[in-house]
Chain A
Amino acid sequence: MATKPNYLRRLLICAFAVIAGLSLQSCSSDDNYPTVDGKAPTLTLSSVQLKTEPGRDFTISGVAKDADGIKSIRLVNEGLNLDKTIDLLEYHPDSLLHTYNLSYAYKGNKDWKGTESFPVAITVEDVGGRTTTQTLTVSTDGDFTSPVFTTAPSSQLTVLLQNPKLTLNTTVTDNKNLGYMIVSIPDLNINDSISISGTKYTLSKSYDMPVKEASYAMTLTVGDAVGNRTTTSSTIKVSDLPDFDNMYLSDVTEAADLNSDLYGVPMLIEHTGKYQYTAHYYNKKAGTPIRFIPQKTDFQPICFGVDPSTGLLTSNPSVGTPITLSTVGYYEITFNTVTGEYNVTKWTPSTPSMVLDGTQSVTLDGDAQPAQICLAGEGLPGASNWTTNPSSGAFILYQDKANPYRLYRQATLTKGTKISFTISQTHIRGWWPEPYWRFNGSDENEKNVKNGGDNMKEVVVPADGTYLFEFDYALLRSRFVLVK
């Protein structure tokens, strides 16, 4: 008996065959690369040993080759928390690479102790699934850090004809071991090389200058034991006592403290006439010693202090002693750098004081808002960039209960952070209302300007630490100093 063909069954079989075929087709897509030599890839590393140091980045480099085409390169080391597959088919979808220049940077960890060793397994896989593995060992005992001038001479040094001696008080440090220091003043044929060691060294040395008005270029170079070096340059001007355009008040005792701030130390004072200067200063701690210097980074070569023998000011740092401000409060100090006469009196700011601790309100654009001042800028911890809005974490300053003119706040800052800001009243919409204070346009943010001025020149945090920002809206001076 003839049977009726089962069309449904045939249809299902055909459909199955088609689907199975399509499935196999799609599954084999990775195997579509034709085999050229069928050999495993080669990997030539630039070095199988790499040295780095805590916190220092390093780069693994080499050349991978494969005639069939390279699929990926995998780098693995558990201690480095590294398990990276460089999928070249993904990064270079338009071309199959047969040669690949590996250059893989790794960000160093500052918590390394300097004794670690990390064997990194580097596996190259070609499109046929063949692999080659090599190991590169990274050790953290290298030294790549240059020595640092923690106290460097100012870029402009003045040596007085009356005392033609250049005295250097320069401190250098190195993370491992210092090697040498060179003082070079070519025009005077001075090329003084000093062997040093340890992690810290202070050069205290004097050089005689010719007794004539002239300028000399000086270079100081410090190197460590493995050859990393740092250089700083200054211009030495031998002259009569000049009428310095800028004079600064220093309330720190160590030259290093002149250099550890973000800005503001020493403090610019007023040049009121020829050789005549007036300083206004708030003494927040009784017994603070102050001195005046025309250069910013050192008490050498000129520092105005009291000559104990005459009771007048002297420019000789080795002779002069600081003026001590005995009580807390504002002072006015006037002095003449030629005659050495000076006068210290208590002073009362004429600027109206304001309550800026947020307990009072101020009406801004129709909204009542707390009267308080913030730093609106970037690089400030916990604050959105350039906001005055308290809800966005505006960096609000505290007001000194003992001195309403003084606003302050501490911050923990990380080395390398770039900071700039405007000192401003807060605003619930993040606007920049008055009052605000910017800067006088000087390269080092030496003076503030109320409701005007120029933008702050960006500063970079020199080292991790806790810093104190202080602003006095009567003195129109601010500073950001390292406290610990």
Chain B
Amino acid sequence: MKRYFLIIFVSILTLGLHAQSVKVTGQVTAAADKEPIMGAYVKVAGTKTAAITDIDGNYTIDADKNATLEVSMVGFQKASISVAGRSAINVVMKDDVSDLNEVVVIGYGSVKKSDLTSSISAIKGDKLEKLSTGNVMNALQGQVNGVQITNAGSPGSSPRVIIRGVSTINGSDPLYVVDGMPVGNNINFLNQNDIESMQVLKDASAAAIYGTRGSNGVILITTKKGSKGATKFTASATVGLQTMQKPDIAGASEYEQVFKTRYTNDNQTAPYNGIANITNAQGTDWWKQTMRDVALTENYNFGFSGGTDKLLYSASIGYFRQNSQYKVGDWQKLTARFSMQYNFNKIVQAGVDFTPKYENWHDTPDLIGAVMTMDPTTPVMRDQSQWTSNPYSNYARSNNNQTLNPVASMSRLDKHSDEYGLLATPWISINPIKGLTFRTQFGMNARFRLSDSYTPDFHIDNLEQAAVSTAQRRMENWVDWNWTNTLTYMNTFNKKHNLNLMAGYTMERFQNYYLDGSRDKIPSNVEEMRYVSAGTDNMQVSGTNNYNSLVSYLGRVMYNYDEKYYLTGSIRVDGSSKFTTGNKYATFPAVSAAWRVSGENFMKNQKIFDDLKLRLGWGKVGNQNIDNSAYTSSIITNRYVFGNQIAIGSSVGSIGNSSVKWETVEDYNIGFDMSFLQNRLRVTADWFTKKSHDMLMKKENLLVLGYPMWNGQMWSNIGSMKATGWELGFNWDDKIGEVKYGVGLNLSSIKNKAVNLNGDYLYTGSHNGDFIIRNEEGKAISQFYGYVVDGIFQNKTEVTSYTNEHGTAMQPNAQPGDFRYKDLNHDGVIDEKDKTYIGNPFPDLMLGVNLNASYHRWDIQAQFYGTFGNDIYNLNRERYFGQNGSNVMAGTLDKAWHGEGTTNEYPRLSVNDANQNYTRPSSFFVENGSYFRCKLLQIGYTIPESVLHLCSVRLSLSAQNLFTITKYSGMDPETASMGGVTQAGIDWSGYPNPRTILFGVNVNF
């Protein structure tokens, strides 16, 4: 295989080289660090004669005495030098400091960054490679303002991405488009090392060209392509060690004391099930029994790219693996990418991007809650004398509560999946006349997933058992295709009128098929029998197809006069299979304009601004994120229990609404782009507001069933939400002596409001028979709603005197040590009417700080991200309660109220909790969720070429999630902030983001 690569490499390398008669030699070096540049493309202007610099930056080329040499290299400004009879010419290349000339992909086209009229953030792929992660969006966190990315730390998990707030209850995921192909809402399959650039279309004037699915913003990803020049090989390897902070949970001794105190405080005898063989006060360390001290993460990549005038090529292969911090669970993916472009002539070009992948994962358990509540006096295994032939039955049952043995649960977890995928985007581009381009691309994204699960039979206890084993297999296919045709015309008239016209037509279809089968009563739990066919009872099978499709007509006009006055207008007409005739088509227009103030004559003599541009934008985007068959009613098979018999029948599955139509979001944006001090300081500022109309919500139709019922709900266009905010970005790049450094600062603030919820409250976050969150019209979304704790009753007098004006006790069940709740409406009764908004899970401010510096061969990168002003409803605070005999946080015995003046925060221990200290939603659970986290700290060293003659090697040492500054007492304020748009910020003890120390090697040759 290696030999073939070398042959291809040599062949390609020589394609562009032709022998000439006059010889010029020299060295190409970088102006910044004086280091030689390998791989620079040296060409004799106007000829096909070219050369590539070697590892020391040296080149040799034949040229005419009067010729001009053109030297180009990615990341440097192009240099042109007259030969003027010289035989030795050294070239010093300047960094391409300004990114204003960078070409930005805008959706069905591209434009110079300086010519943007709408709010688009662009980030280069190399900035996303610093962080080793399974999902590249994790690396984007803090790099782009206005984009709130909340990471879930477990292997294979996807982050929550919210672009410029929330304007719909129907999900917040943006649309991901990879090389022109919409790929859904999860880009786990993508190798971060394959990304050339990423563009975030934030406002509607940018995203409207994606009409139907642009309401949550669009993320355009361009993968790496070959570039003209010699073949360059890159390889990298990163190995990391993940660790996770153990929560501070009580040991056996304190657990026993708390357990008993809860009863004695209520004048009851504790039904404590003591165990005689506890040998230490800590008892069983369930964290240690279920978690690894260190979990491994690995990331390996190899690629090459190059090209000639005719052929550009690029290929890569990558392997990523992340182990779960639990003793079971992992995720690994093998990705490859092949990109090729062939220029038949000046008129016709064609190419294909071909991205196969393979993913495999073993499910990561969700046991942190069980680990924290499990009785520490219970051993992992029951006494050996009680063991049976079924190893799953030999685990111990909790002595004093109903928590399932987490080690036993972990041992039974056998769920694993394999997924194969192929993303292919062949295309042809034809330029029949100057400026006119016709491009057609047919993209296909196919995935096949095979998931197996096995649940063994076992009997630990009557309440911890499965009488029968079950084997299940699910096969699921997704086959999406997209045909995109665009006609683009670009030209400049009279040197000042720049015009860019685009018209297009697209067809898209999304298909999903699955087949699911299971059987019970497998004769044995041995590995060899864990197949559906081995089951002997209860054969179940199901399967169905799902489709939806879109056809779209689109067009865009971009005009600018002398690069001072810009006007862009776009329109997209989408027709969707999700809607019926009359509502099937919708139009999404957008207009944006910009004024380069710095280009005006009156600005020529000023020295403050190097660039100053004002942008204005308006647009409409859509959302069709509803069931494929929302317009039609369905009847489904259902089961009903008569006595102990299960009967199978039919029932109403869903109620259709033939009038359902598009949800639209209207968006306004105003922004400034500025640069100062010879472009060293670049500032971007935006203000925006967006509001949804005809928001799709499910509404109960009482006429269907005659009574309220979930399956009588139907989709209706009845809601509205609004998001308003601002963004501010600062980027500073400079040098001090030989130290080159850069500072990036991203700030954004967004307020999300529910405008119309059809007059209803939307309650979410069910807990203890109540709800934690209430969404209300006119209020911020997803706010915590509950009672306000006004301290703790310290003595009998405070309890007795907490009455209404006529002496009626407001909390008749309270005792000293219980919470005092505020009577907010002063009606003398503590009830539902005293609930109020007690916290907001969405931050007031998001902050990203990115630092980089280099000195000679050393470089350092640091990324920080933080959110401020957000609250978290920390359900872990229940772990000071010991409900149902649960274990508690260490120190509970001392922290809980145990006499006047002991605390005003943690109530007394009580088994009955008659005052509902822990079972009412209240401000006790609300904590400040603000945090500031060092996401990445990386130090790199590039070994001099004089040491390694064949290649350039960079070594790096990184720390991810190195430290977090927060007052939040839970495990991770970031994962605790997760959740849907109407149910965010409840800490359910999810998998926290681990701290990872990584060692990396990058090799270029």
The answer to whether A and B come from one shared complex is: yes
Binding site for B on A (CB under 8 A): 59-60, 78, 80-86, 88, 90-91, 93, 103-107, 358-359, 361, 363-366, 368-370, 382, 390-393, 428, 433-434, 451
Q: Closest Cβ of chain B: how far from A294's Cβ, in Å? A: 38
Q: State the CA gap A104–B803 with chains docked (Å).
A: 9
Q: State the CA gap A166–B588 with chains docked (Å).
A: 95
Q: Contact: B807 with A104, CB < 8 Å?
A: yes
Q: Contact: A359 with B462, CB < 8 Å?
A: yes
Q: State the CA gap A255–B493 with chains docked (Å).
A: 115
Q: Determine the chain B residues whose CB is within 8 A of the CB of A361 once the complex forms.
A: 462, 465, 467
Q: State the CA gap A393–B798 with chains docked (Å).
A: 31
Q: Determine the chain B residues whose CB is within 8 A of the CB of A363 once the complex forms.
A: 467, 644
Q: Determine the chain A residues whose CB is within 8 A of the CB of B582 once the complex forms.
A: none
Q: State the CA gap A390–B462 with chains docked (Å).
A: 12
Q: Contact: A369 with B797, CB < 8 Å?
A: no
Nearest to A107 among chain B residues (CB) is B809
Nearest to B457 among chain A residues (CB) is A368
Q: Contact: B644 with A434, CB < 8 Å?
A: yes
Q: State the CA gap A222–B526 with chains docked (Å).
A: 79
Q: Determine the chain B residues whose CB is within 8 A of the CB of A90 once the complex forms.
A: 826
Q: Determine the chain A residues whose CB is within 8 A of the CB of B884 once the complex forms.
A: 391-393
Q: State the CA gap A179–B809 with chains docked (Å).
A: 36
Q: Determine the chain A residues whose CB is within 8 A of the CB of B525 once the complex forms.
A: none
Q: Contact: B806 with A104, CB < 8 Å?
A: yes
Q: Contact: A390 with B402, CB < 8 Å?
A: yes
Q: Does B463 contact A (CB under 8 A)?
A: yes
Q: State the CA gap A454–B801 with chains docked (Å).
A: 43
Q: State the CA gap A78–B797 with chains docked (Å).
A: 8
A93-B826, A368-B465, A391-B402 known; A81-B796 Cβ under 8 A: yes
Q: Closest Cβ of chain A: how far from B911's Cβ, in Å? A: 8
Q: Closest Cβ of chain A: how far from B447's Cβ, in Å? A: 32
Q: Contact: A106 with B402, CB < 8 Å?
A: no
Q: Determine the chain B residues whose CB is within 8 A of the CB of A366 once the complex forms.
A: 646
Q: Does B597 contact A (CB under 8 A)?
A: no
Q: Contact: A434 with B643, CB < 8 Å?
A: yes
Q: Contact: B463 with A428, CB < 8 Å?
A: yes
Q: State the CA gap A88–B826 with chains docked (Å).
A: 11
Q: Determine the chain B residues whose CB is within 8 A of the CB of A78 once the complex forms.
A: 797
Nearest to A389 among chain B residues (CB) is B402
Nearest to B803 among chain A residues (CB) is A84
Nearest to A391 among chain B residues (CB) is B402
A81-B795, A390-B402, A434-B644 known; A382-B912 Cβ under 8 A: yes
Q: Determine the chain B residues whose CB is within 8 A of the CB of A369 once the complex forms.
A: 462-463
Q: Does B805 contact A (CB under 8 A)?
A: yes
Q: Contact: A390 with B463, CB < 8 Å?
A: yes
A106-B807, A391-B884, A433-B644 known; A80-B800 Cβ under 8 A: yes
Q: Contact: A82 with B465, CB < 8 Å?
A: no
Q: Does B7 contact A (CB under 8 A)?
A: no
* CB-based closest 5 A-B pairs: A370-B462, A105-B807, A84-B801, A81-B796, A368-B467
Q: Determine the chain B residues whose CB is within 8 A of the CB of A83 once the complex forms.
A: 797-798, 801
Q: Contact: B805 with A91, CB < 8 Å?
A: yes
B797's partner among A82, A93, A359, A393 (CB-CB below 8 A) is A82
Nearest to B639 among chain A residues (CB) is A365
Q: State the CA gap A90–B804 with chains docked (Å).
A: 11
Q: Does B433 contact A (CB under 8 A)?
A: no
Count how many chain B residues have C-beta atoms less than 8 Å from C-beta atoms of the other chain: 30
Q: State the CA gap A86–B805 with chains docked (Å).
A: 6
Q: Contact: B806 with A364, CB < 8 Å?
A: no
Nearest to B644 among chain A residues (CB) is A434
Q: State the CA gap A107–B799 with chains docked (Å).
A: 12
Q: List 29 A-B contacts (CB under 8 A).
A: A78-B797, A81-B796, A81-B799, A81-B801, A82-B797, A84-B801, A84-B807, A90-B826, A91-B805, A91-B826, A91-B828, A104-B807, A105-B806, A105-B807, A107-B807, A359-B462, A361-B462, A361-B465, A363-B467, A365-B646, A366-B646, A368-B462, A368-B465, A368-B466, A390-B402, A390-B463, A391-B402, A391-B884, A392-B884
Q: State the CA gap A3–B911 with chains docked (Å).
A: 78
Q: Determine the chain B residues whose CB is within 8 A of the CB of A59 once the complex forms.
A: 807
Q: Closest Cβ of chain B: how far from A437's Cβ, in Å? A: 14
Nearest to A59 among chain B residues (CB) is B807
Q: Determine the chain B residues whose CB is within 8 A of the CB of A392 once the complex forms.
A: 884
Q: State the CA gap A221–B268 with chains docked (Å).
A: 41
Q: Does B98 contact A (CB under 8 A)?
A: no
Q: Does B536 contact A (CB under 8 A)?
A: no
Q: Contact: A370 with B463, CB < 8 Å?
A: yes
Not counting A82-B801, A104-B803, a sample of 17 additional A-B residue pairs whose C-beta atoms are within 8 angstroms of each other reads A59-B807, A60-B807, A81-B796, A81-B797, A83-B797, A83-B798, A83-B801, A84-B803, A86-B805, A93-B826, A103-B807, A105-B806, A105-B808, A106-B807, A107-B809, A364-B644, A369-B462
Q: State the CA gap A368–B464 with chains docked (Å).
A: 9
A365's partner among B641, B803, B809 (CB-CB below 8 A) is B641
Interface residues of B in 777-798 (CB under 8 A from A): 795-798
Interface residues of B in 633-670 (CB under 8 A from A): 641, 643-644, 646
Q: Determine the chain A residues whose CB is within 8 A of the CB of B911 once the complex forms.
A: 382
Q: Determine the chain B residues whose CB is within 8 A of the CB of A85 once the complex forms.
A: 801
Interface residues of B in 803-817 (CB under 8 A from A): 803-809
Q: Determine the chain B residues whose CB is within 8 A of the CB of A434 once the complex forms.
A: 643-644
Q: Closest Cβ of chain B: how far from A121's Cβ, in Å? A: 13
Q: Determine the chain A residues whose CB is within 8 A of the CB of B803 once the complex forms.
A: 84, 104
Q: Closest Cβ of chain B: how far from A387's Cβ, in Å? A: 11
Q: State the CA gap A85–B804 with chains docked (Å).
A: 10
Nearest to B520 among chain A residues (CB) is A366
Q: Determine the chain B residues whose CB is within 8 A of the CB of A106 once the complex forms.
A: 807
Nearest to A393 among chain B residues (CB) is B884
Q: Determine the chain B residues whose CB is within 8 A of the CB of A451 once the complex forms.
A: 643
Q: Determine the chain B residues whose CB is within 8 A of the CB of A390 once the complex forms.
A: 402, 463
Nearest to A360 among chain B residues (CB) is B462
Q: Determine the chain A residues whose CB is within 8 A of the CB of B643 once the complex forms.
A: 434, 451
Nearest to A93 among chain B residues (CB) is B826
Question: When each residue 254-278 of chain B gets 1 if its CB lies under 8 Å from chain A and 0 otherwise, what string results?
Answer: 0000000000000010000000000
Nearest to B267 among chain A residues (CB) is A412
Q: Closest Cβ of chain A: how far from B916's Cβ, in Å? A: 12
Q: Closest Cβ of chain B: how far from A302's Cβ, in Å? A: 43
Interface residues of B in 751-802 (CB under 8 A from A): 795-801
Q: Contact: B800 with A81, CB < 8 Å?
A: yes
Q: Closest Cβ of chain B: how far from A45's Cβ, in Å? A: 15
Q: State the CA gap A363–B467 with chains docked (Å).
A: 9
Nearest to B266 among chain A residues (CB) is A382
Interface residues of B in 798-844 (CB under 8 A from A): 798-801, 803-809, 826, 828
Q: Closest Cβ of chain A: how far from B646's Cβ, in Å? A: 7
Q: Determine the chain B residues whose CB is within 8 A of the CB of A107 once the complex forms.
A: 800, 807, 809
Nearest to B462 among chain A residues (CB) is A370
Q: Determine the chain A residues whose CB is within 8 A of the CB of B801 once the complex forms.
A: 81-85
Question: When each residue 876-914 of chain B gets 1 if its CB lies under 8 Å from chain A and 0 otherwise, what string results?
Answer: 000000001000000000000000000000000001100
Q: State the CA gap A323–B128 with chains docked (Å).
A: 93
Q: Determine the chain A residues whose CB is within 8 A of the CB of B465 once the complex forms.
A: 361, 368
Q: Determine the chain B residues whose CB is within 8 A of the CB of A93 once the complex forms.
A: 826
Q: State the CA gap A309–B807 with chains docked (Å).
A: 66
Q: Determine the chain B residues whose CB is within 8 A of the CB of A359 once the complex forms.
A: 462
Q: State the CA gap A59–B911 with chains docked (Å).
A: 33
Q: Determine the chain A residues whose CB is within 8 A of the CB of B826 once the complex forms.
A: 90-91, 93
Q: State the CA gap A424–B800 with chains docked (Å).
A: 39
Q: Determine the chain A residues whose CB is within 8 A of the CB of B644 once the complex forms.
A: 363-364, 433-434
Q: Closest Cβ of chain A: how far from B407's Cβ, in Å? A: 20
Q: Closest Cβ of chain B: how far from A58's Cβ, in Å? A: 9
Q: State the CA gap A364–B465 with chains docked (Å).
A: 13
Q: State the CA gap A390–B884 with chains docked (Å).
A: 10
Q: State the CA gap A365–B795 with chains docked (Å).
A: 49
Nearest to B807 among chain A residues (CB) is A105
Q: Determine the chain A residues whose CB is within 8 A of the CB of B809 once the complex forms.
A: 107
Nearest to A412 among chain B residues (CB) is B268
Q: State the CA gap A250–B810 with chains docked (Å).
A: 45
Nearest to B271 among chain A residues (CB) is A382
Q: State the CA gap A91–B805 with chains docked (Å).
A: 8
